[in-house]
Chains A and B, each alone.
Chain A
Amino acid sequence: MTSPFTLRSARRAGSAPRPRGHRRHWKALAAGCALAGAVTAISACGSGSGSGSGSGGHITLTELDDYPAGLPQSAAFKWLFSEYEKTHPDVTISRQSVAGTEILPKLLADAQTHNMPDIAVPDNPNMPNLAATGQFVNLNSDLAKWGQWNSYLAGSRAVTTVKGKTYGIEIGTNALGIIYNKKIFKEAGIKQLPTTWAQLLDVSRTIKSKVSGLTYGAIGFGAGCAAWQLLPWIYQQGLDVNDLTAPGLVTAVNYWHQLLSEGLANKEVITQCQSTNIPQLEQGKLAMVESGPWDFPTMAADHFTDFGTFAIPLKDASAKPSVPLGGEVWTVPVTDSKTEAAAWDFIKWSQQPSILLQFDEKLQYLAVRPALWPAMVKDNPKLQPFVDELKYAKGRTTSLGVAFNTYSNDMGTAVVQVLEGQKTAQAALSAAASAAKASLAGSGS
């Protein structure tokens, strides 16, 4: 049978429209619509959520974190979930992970499409942005019933709380310090660890003059790292990223520039983050790296143990130790009451001191229960400087909220301009202040 739409019939010159053609025409229209509907339905199903799926009493929780497979920390999550599944056979946790820079855009997009995971683990400065979506469960009443929230680190409680509503518990926390290669320090004859900026300069100069081919590379500033690496040098002066034109901030940036201009740091620090410096520290190409305990598992995996740690040196006697509070947060996205209850049950279970201690030691994070710190430091004395710093740690978004992103990114550009020698610190930071102000006004923030 020949279709009326084949070329042969279509070419029938002068043929008048036939009544049957009408019927087929509508059949074709119906088929077209059906196909379009099917395609749309299939695509809609394809992007559907697998949230809290389960049959009978069994439930599968989907989890999203920012430790992709291959990172040592990924194993810690796997261990935690397998432990939970052993004691809760009716629950399976299905893990998904993305790169650290991708988790916020992904969660915001998921929130837009109401396609959230059942448990999300964003970085703590993302909390104001995520809370604004209205797609995260306010845990105030659950935490009140639980009754243990007050024993947590005050700074950590603050970073998970937005406008009086607490949206999660940090999986652990951390802080920035300086990790140094002990062998290089020994060869350079350095016996006293630096505690001030001036001493740090002296130590760096000594290393450069005495140990051939080695430079100091503790900056680790680059796109994506934003202001993280510079914050301790600002916070200790009582400043924040919105004080872009403050003399103290100009001094801090000039200090970094001095490290670079004297050759105490390599130019590669302009684009490198702290983690990319670790292999160079291990190979003895760098003496010091500004980083934190989260790099310990990488160094352990590389069998590099000959390193020490010390706190970020202070500008002078007037400065008070203060570092930005690190760490990701267990959160419960809005799904359905059964799934939300199951997710909260898992988070509560993970906070048992024995479980928390093991999990954070595997992650090489510091527990947000300060009561566990002595045990952690006993197991790994290299954590001591970080524990000391955490007592004064400050949340990045605690006072600035969503504006932190804008200020820190504009400051990051200004810092690179100074390190590149394009502008003076004063000029670059003034321009950054204007840009941030205009950007915030433009965004309606």
Chain B
Amino acid sequence: MASKLLREEARSGSQDPGRARPAGAQRVGALLRPGAFRRPGTRRSRAWPYLVPIVVWLLLMFGYPILETIRMAFSYVNSTNFTTGGWHFAGFQNFRTLPTLQGFQPMLRNTGLFLVGSIVPQFVIGGLLAVALNTTSRTRRWARSLVLLPWLFPPVATATVFLWMFSSPSGLFDSLYKSVGLGHQVPYFLQTGNDALLVVIILNIWIGIPFNYLVIQSGLQSIPGDLHDAALIDGAGWLKELTRITIPLLRETLLTVLMLGILGTMNVFAFVWILTMGGPANATMLPGVLAYSQAFVNFNYGQGAAIIIGVVVVLLCVAGMYLVVTRSQTRNERRARIYRPAKTAREARA
């Protein structure tokens, strides 16, 4: 329906709404308003019965577990009362005692290193690949498929392969060291704290590159080619084109990639558990692993739930910051289109 309305807009005279015509810009702005696509006389209530199944499903499958997790985080829940009920209210006790856990301080440090160490390389490599493969040729089409391969493997399988590669005494790197006569200097990657964290980070980068590549490439392809052509005619170099056209127009895409990268990275569990189980000595302890360990190894479900609630709060803050940034940008862009259209048009012509 939206596309049809946009087509109607185009047919009725307005051109590319964001570029030159202020009226068009206003109309697109109007289209973005909630309820813009509701036809006069159409009652919104007609649609909601169709939503009942999914709403019921979401309430049962997501709403109830979330409420139970919150209740658990504020209760004393261990293996002795997990099944039988009778969870006594604990107030903030589960949250207060978190710093006393052996894995808590290492978890904070590791999370910082893991986030920065994973997201920056994922983003840079994924972005560079997207730029490099943003043209059509047979080789590049193949290369694109190859870039997406890591995404197709289940994390469990990937972790198992990494486990074999980095394990000693019969792993890939171990064998390589021995084959070149360095058997006495075998690196015990998974048994040495910082090395183990590095292995986990490398694995997360490897898994994350396809997503970064895919989203950034989609963003690149949505930039009209004539802008690049115009820049070329104006004699702009690749750096100027990148900083004046590509990055500004990709800003929302890049922010989305970063936000989703943070969400995904904060929530990793499966491959870390398979690779190191958070060890050695908490060297690869991350929030998901600590929560699982507390809940299902130490059977302190209350503390496990408290960790999860903490992670959710942090992630909500990240998502909130994303919304604030993107909304303020959208508002600024709209204002720029509405109040300074003539200047923009002149600039475009120049």
Interface check A266, CB cutoff 8 A: yes
Whether A413 contacts B282 by the Cβ 8 Å rule is yes
Whether B97 contacts A442 by the Cβ 8 Å rule is yes
Interface check A5, CB cutoff 8 A: yes
Whether A223 contacts B299 by the Cβ 8 Å rule is no
Contact A405:B103 (CB < 8 A) given known A32-B52, A266-B169: no
Taking CB atoms, residues of chain B closer than 8 Å to A45 are none
Q: Which of B53-61, B109-117, B230-238, B315-323 contacts the other chain?
A: B53-61
> Could you list 26 A-B pairs, sorted by A, with CB under 8 Å?
A12-B39, A28-B46, A28-B50, A32-B51, A36-B52, A36-B53, A36-B56, A133-B79, A133-B84, A224-B277, A268-B167, A268-B169, A270-B279, A280-B169, A285-B169, A409-B293, A416-B279, A416-B280, A420-B192, A420-B281, A435-B101, A439-B303, A443-B78, A443-B298, A443-B302, A443-B303
Contact A267:B168 (CB < 8 A) given known A420-B193, A432-B102, A438-B97: yes
Taking CB atoms, residues of chain B closer than 8 Å to A36 are 52-53, 56-57
Whether B49 contacts A25 by the Cβ 8 Å rule is yes
- On A, residues with C-beta under 8 Å from B are 4-5, 7, 10-17, 21, 25, 28-29, 31-33, 35-36, 39-40, 105, 108, 111-112, 128-129, 132-135, 222-224, 266-268, 270-271, 280, 285, 402, 405-406, 409-410, 413-414, 416-417, 420, 422, 431-432, 434-435, 438-439, 441-445
Contacts A439-B100, A442-B300 aside, 5 further interface pairs with beta carbons under 8 A come to A7-B1, A16-B41, A25-B46, A28-B50, A135-B83
Whether B88 contacts A223 by the Cβ 8 Å rule is no
Taking CB atoms, residues of chain A closer than 8 Å to B40 are 13-14
Whether A434 contacts B168 by the Cβ 8 Å rule is no
Q: State the majority secondary structure of interface residues on A.
A: helix
In the complex, residue of chain A having the shortest beta-carbon distance to the beta carbon of B93: A442
Query: Which residue of B42, B167, B168, B299 is within 8 Å of A405 (Cβ)?
Result: B299
Whether B49 contacts A29 by the Cβ 8 Å rule is yes
Interface check B138, CB cutoff 8 A: no
Give the Cβ gap from A439 to chain B, nearest Cβ, in Å. Answer: 6
Whether A129 contacts B80 by the Cβ 8 Å rule is yes
Whether B78 contacts A13 by the Cβ 8 Å rule is no
Interface check B297, CB cutoff 8 A: yes
Interface check B173, CB cutoff 8 A: no
Give the Cβ gap from B89 to chain A, nearest Cβ, in Å. Answer: 11
Interface check B164, CB cutoff 8 A: no
Query: Which residue of A35, A112, A439 is within 8 Å of B53 (Cβ)?
Result: A35
Interface check B278, CB cutoff 8 A: yes
Interface check B90, CB cutoff 8 A: yes
Taking CB atoms, residues of chain A closer than 8 Å to B282 are 413
Give the Cβ gap from A428 to chain B, nearest Cβ, in Å. Answer: 8
Which range contains the number of B residues in contact with the other chain? 35 or more
Interface check B151, CB cutoff 8 A: no
Q: In the complex the two chains form, what is the Cα distance from A341 to B190 in whole Å?
A: 49
Query: Which residue of B82, B190, B280 is within 8 Å of A112 (Cβ)?
Result: B82
Give the Cβ gap from A76 to chain B, nearest Cβ, in Å. Answer: 27
In the complex, residue of chain A having the shortest beta-carbon distance to the beta carbon of B76: A444
Q: In the complex the two chains form, what is the Cα distance from A285 to B60 in whole Å?
A: 54
Query: Which residue of A21, A31, A267, A413 is within 8 Å of B281 (Cβ)?
Result: A413
Whether B41 contacts A32 by the Cβ 8 Å rule is no
Whether A223 contacts B276 by the Cβ 8 Å rule is yes
Interface check B191, CB cutoff 8 A: yes
Q: In the complex the two chains form, what is the Cα distance from A420 to B106 in whole Å?
A: 15
Q: In the complex the two chains form, what is the Cα distance from A33 to B97 in whole Å?
A: 44
Q: In the complex the two chains form, what is the Cα distance from A40 to B54 in whole Å?
A: 11
In the complex, residue of chain A having the shortest beta-carbon distance to the beta carbon of B196: A271
Interface check B94, CB cutoff 8 A: yes
Q: In the complex the two chains form, what is the Cα distance from A266 to B300 in whole Å?
A: 34
Q: In the complex the two chains form, what is the Cα distance from A28 to B190 in whole Å?
A: 58
Q: In the complex the two chains form, what is the Cα distance from A31 to B296 in whole Å?
A: 41
Whether B97 contacts A268 by the Cβ 8 Å rule is no
Q: In the complex the two chains form, what is the Cα distance from A409 to B296 in whole Å?
A: 12
Q: In the complex the two chains form, what is the Cα distance from A182 to B47 in whole Å?
A: 78
Interface check B332, CB cutoff 8 A: no
Whether A405 contacts B297 by the Cβ 8 Å rule is yes
Taking CB atoms, residues of chain B closer than 8 Å to A422 are 193, 281
Whether B49 contacts A443 by the Cβ 8 Å rule is no
Q: In the complex the two chains form, what is the Cα distance from A4 to B41 in whole Å?
A: 13
Taking CB atoms, residues of chain A closer than 8 Å to B281 are 413, 416-417, 420, 422
Interface check B12, CB cutoff 8 A: no
Q: In the complex the two chains form, what is the Cα distance from A36 to B52 in whole Å?
A: 7
Whether B79 contacts A402 by the Cβ 8 Å rule is yes
Give the Cβ gap from B211 to chain A, nearest Cβ, in Å. Answer: 29
Taking CB atoms, residues of chain A closer than 8 Å to B303 are 439, 442-443
User: Which residue, A133, A223, A285, has most C-beta atoms of chain B within 10 A?
Assistant: A223
Query: Which residue of A133, A268, A416, A420 is within 8 Å of B168 (Cβ)?
Result: A268
User: Which residue, B46, B57, B90, B101, has most C-beta atoms of chain A within 10 A?
Assistant: B46
Which B residues from 30 to 46 make CB contacts under 8 A with A?
Answer: 39-43, 45-46
Q: In the complex the two chains form, what is the Cα distance from A36 to B43 in whole Å?
A: 23
Whether A444 contacts B192 by the Cβ 8 Å rule is no
The interface bits of chain B over 175-191 (1 if a CB of A lies within 8 angstroms of the residue's CB, else 0) are 00000000000001011
Q: Report, nearest first, the 4 A-B pairs whose CB atoms are least far apart.
A: A444-B76, A32-B52, A438-B100, A442-B97
Give the Cβ gap from A227 to chain B, nearest Cβ, in Å. Answer: 12
Whether A134 contacts B84 by the Cβ 8 Å rule is yes
Taking CB atoms, residues of chain A closer than 8 Å to B39 are 10-13
Q: In the complex the two chains form, what is the Cα distance from A21 to B45 in whole Å?
A: 11
Whether B80 contacts A266 by the Cβ 8 Å rule is no
Interface check B330, CB cutoff 8 A: no
In the complex, residue of chain A having the shortest beta-carbon distance to the beta carbon of B79: A129
Taking CB atoms, residues of chain A closer than 8 Å to B299 are 108, 129, 402, 405, 443
Whether A17 contacts B278 by the Cβ 8 Å rule is no
Contact A271:B88 (CB < 8 A) given known A29-B49, A435-B101, A442-B94: no
Whether A270 contacts B191 by the Cβ 8 Å rule is yes
Q: In the complex the two chains form, what is the Cα distance from A409 to B97 in whole Å?
A: 17
In the complex, residue of chain B having the shortest beta-carbon distance to the beta carbon of A38: B53
Query: Which residue of B50, B60, B83, B298 is within 8 Å of A439 (Cβ)?
Result: B298
Whether B41 contacts A271 by the Cβ 8 Å rule is no
In the complex, residue of chain A having the shortest beta-carbon distance to the beta carbon of B106: A413
Taking CB atoms, residues of chain A closer than 8 Å to B50 are 5, 28, 32
Taking CB atoms, residues of chain B closer than 8 Å to A442 are 93-94, 97, 100, 300, 302-303
Give the Cβ gap from A123 to chain B, nearest Cβ, in Å. Answer: 14
Query: Which residue of B57, B76, B83 is within 8 Å of A39 (Cβ)?
Result: B57
Taking CB atoms, residues of chain B closer than 8 Å to A29 are 49, 52
Whether A443 contacts B300 by the Cβ 8 Å rule is yes
Taking CB atoms, residues of chain A closer than 8 Å to B57 are 36, 39-40
Taking CB atoms, residues of chain B closer than 8 Å to A266 are 168-169
Taking CB atoms, residues of chain B closer than 8 Å to A13 are 39-41
Taking CB atoms, residues of chain B closer than 8 Å to A271 are 190-191, 276, 279-280
Whether A132 contacts B79 by the Cβ 8 Å rule is yes
Give the Cβ gap from A307 to chain B, nearest Cβ, in Å. Answer: 19
The interface bits of chain B over 99-137 (1 if a CB of A lies within 8 angstroms of the residue's CB, else 0) are 011110000000000000000000000000000000000
Interface check B15, CB cutoff 8 A: no
Contact A32:B53 (CB < 8 A) given known A413-B281, A422-B281: yes
Query: Which residue of B49, B78, B79, B298 is within 8 Å of A28 (Cβ)?
Result: B49
